[in-house]
Amino acid sequence: MSLFFEHQTSSFKRSYLRNLIKLASADGVLKDEERHLINSFGIRRGLKTWEIDELFQEELAHELFVPESIANRMNMLHDLMELVYVDRQASKGEMAVISDLLKAFHLDVSLLDTLIHLFHEGTPDPLDWRDFVGDVCCPSVAQSQQPHPFLP
């Protein structure tokens, strides 16, 4: 039984990284800094270096992976945005992938502007990210409080 869960966890991690690779390749080039960041995400999630290398060698044509839990979706969104801005610029292809991901996550595509604002000068402060996630995940609570500084 534990082998099943280990396989399921490994499959999740690999699918997660496939999304990152797809996004990083959206502009036609997988840059060294993007590859390095994807490697660090994979290692942080417990994948072996050889497993990550295999993912880089795979064909990029795969279906978008959508995590089941909102927490995993928000983690993926954070990592994807960090990856988009690793080179301090976002291509139209990368923004299209993020837009598709927002739709797949059943989130308002207008959040893309907020994400761009949060990440355009680097990875946001953890408190700012937590506030953003709270606003997205619990909009009724956020509406009853003061407006978030990053939301229109």
| Domain-embedded: residue 151 | no
| Domain-embedded: residue 68 | yes
Nearest CA to 21 among 49, 73, 56? 56
State the chain's mean pLDDT as an integer: 80
Residue range of the domain that includes 20: 2-144
Domains held by the chain: number = 1
CB 65 within 8 A of CB 23: no
Q: What is the domain-level CATH number for residue 121?
A: 1.10.3680.10
Alpha-carbon distances, residue 44 vs 76, 104, 123, 150 (angstroms): 13, 25, 17, 28
Using the predicted structure, report yes or no on whether residue 147 has a pLDDT greater than 80: no
Give the pTM: 0.74
d(CA 13, CA 46): 8
Using the predicted structure, report yes or no on whether residue 22 has a pLDDT greater than 90: no
| Domain-embedded: residue 27 | yes
| Domain-embedded: residue 23 | yes
- The better pLDDT of the pair 52, 87 is held by 52
Under the banding of pLDDT at 50, 70 and 90, the label for residue 50 is: very high
CB 74 within 8 A of CB 126: no
